[in-house]
Amino acid sequence: MNQQINSQSQAIPHLVGQGVRTLNIAVLPGDGIGPEIIEQALNVTKAVCRKFGHKLNYEYALVGAIAIDQTGEPYPRATHDLCMISDAALFGAIGDPKYDNNPSAKVRPEQGLLKMRKDLGLYANIRPVTTFPSLLHKSPLRADLVEGADFMCIRELTGGMYFGRPQGRSEDGNTAYDTCVYTREEVERILHLAYKYARQRRRKVTVVDKANVIATSRLWRQIAQEIAPQYADVETEYMFVDNAAMRIIQCPKSFDVLVTENLFGDILTDEASVITGSLGMLPSASIGLHTSVFEPIHGSYPQAAGKNIANPLATVLSAALMFEYAFGMIEEGKLIRDAVTASMETGIVTEDIADGAKACSTSEVGEWIVNYVLR
């Protein structure tokens, strides 16, 4: 690793020797606003390491459109190798309008994301949905419906229609097909994970499927019914995906852990994210067989790229998830969360949530949080 920050062991005497560690992080800024928001999240990560006396090693790697431009591949081998030897990866965003407007492009940035998920075995995408008191008025839902909503979406990430084969077109080009495939093993491991998280929360799992129509969903439900009795201390609820889409906006507080297959999870987590008032606020963790990846759930927001106006908080909160999930460092994660809450309450926020008041730039928000962490 080519960049190092040495711990300041003299700074925090009471922490010396208490779980001081070395963190090796792959930094994947990606496209659009990715580099700007990652810069802030990395600065916050450095500050937390300094504060707690951890040693941080980090190295940058390419992914997405920028990787195609520079190497021809959206997820180059060098990036994968770096991720594999790192303890965690911090990821910004991918996507570029020049590909969106060219449906016949053979290599696409999104393929890099799918390949990264598959090659790192990232079978679970965890998206916590929490509300922020100072943002309640920005929610499209009534404040009394969302206030206190706190649930976790667990999306299966390496199966289903995203990866099922065959996928393609008939020879005449007039028929297209995708295949949705799930194996027992894939369904079992994600359900066990959902129960594991539910046991650390309010002990309720909602299994979302379309078992009234789709064969893979019937397998999901069958396996869920087999597994549920092993977690008798957790309530299991079964819900069709169309109903779940409705319940998320009617009664978001009724969910604790929601678990579902890849495509349903893609759609429901976008829906769930906006009820909190800003898409710029929600982090995610992708975990699985190898190194975990932490990323904001929003996209690359190309219109804002390079303007220093994008909201860095979802990425900063992804760093908090990284401390908690990848390193089991609960205090470190909490300090970042507290800093983010404080920045919002002080009005140190970007234009998307400034609400008419003076907006700060991406880097001003990041710097304020760094100072909060170090104070």
What is the set of active-site residues? 162, 210, 242, 266, 270
Q: How far is the CB of 113 from ligand IPM (least distance, A)?
A: 5
Tokens of 253: 């507080």
Binding residues for ligand IPM restricted to 108-137, rule: CB under 6 A: 110, 113
Tokens of 42: 């990395």
- Which CB sits closer to ligand IPM, 88 or 282? 282
- Which CB sits closer to ligand IPM, 69 or 270? 270
Give per-residue burial for 203-232: e unless 16+ CB within 10 Å, then b. ebbbbbbbbeebebbebbbebbeebbeebe
Q: How far is the CB of 205 from ligand IPM (least distance, A)?
A: 21
Q: How far is the CB of 182 from ligand IPM (least distance, A)?
A: 16
- Which CB sits closer to ligand IPM, 302 or 347? 302
Q: How far is the CB of 302 from Mn ion (least distance, A)?
A: 16
Span near Mn ion by CB under 5 A; candidates 13-21, 238-246, 252-260, 261-269: 261-269
- Report the residue number whose CB is nearest to ligand IPM: 110
Q: How far is the CB of 266 from Mn ion (least distance, A)?
A: 4
113 binds, among ligand IPM, Mn ion, none (CB under 5 to 8 A by kind): ligand IPM
- Which CB sits closer to ligand IPM, 48 or 94? 94
- Does 93 participate in binding ligand IPM (rule CB under 6 A)? no
Span near Mn ion by CB under 5 A; candidates 100-108, 124-132, 263-271, 362-370: 263-271
110 binds, among ligand IPM, Mn ion, none (CB under 5 to 8 A by kind): ligand IPM
Among 59, 119, 266, 331, binds Mn ion (CB under 5 A): 266
Token look-up 């707690």 returns: 52
Q: How far is the CB of 110 from ligand IPM (least distance, A)?
A: 4
Binding residues for ligand IPM restricted to 253-272, rule: CB under 6 A: 266
Question: Total residues at the site for ligand IPM (CB under 6 A)?
Answer: 3
The contact set with Mn ion (CB under 5 A) reads: 266
The contact set with ligand IPM (CB under 6 A) reads: 110, 113, 266
